[in-house]
Amino acid sequence: MLISSETLKQDLDQLDHDQLQQVADFIAFLKFRSQHRRRVVLDPTQLATLFTEFADEDRALAETGMSDYTAILQKEDQP
């Protein structure tokens, strides 16, 4: 089915206010979605840099609670 802008204009002219608001909301959604898709570009080099930058911090955070966790496990194993 071919859709022309003229046909769409004619259809829009027949809509009531609430229907026009729904069309406007949908158009806003389409614009947002197309902009969002263009913005999300992950650069592998940049990601690798971020990973390297935060790797030590991540390891330190992971180890922070391990002694407490071990103590809790040992306490649970006791009768």
pLDDT digits (tens, 9 = 90+) for 34-72: 887 766 678 889 889 889 889 988 888 888 877 788 888
At residue 17, the pLDDT reads 95
Task: Please tell me the number of Cα atoms within 13 Å of 31 on its side-chain side.
Answer: 6
Find the domain containing 30 and state its range. Answer: 5-39
In this structure, the dihedral spanned by the alpha carbons of residues 18, 19, 25 and 27, taken in order and rounded to 10 degrees, is -150
pLDDT at 14 over 90: yes
Answer for the pair 23, 12: CB distance below 8 angstroms, yes or no. yes
53 shares a domain with 30: no
| Percent of all residues in the chain with a pLDDT value above 70, rounded to a whole number | 94
Answer for the pair 38, 30: CB distance below 8 angstroms, yes or no. no
51 shares a domain with 35: no
Answer for the pair 15, 23: CB distance below 8 angstroms, yes or no. yes
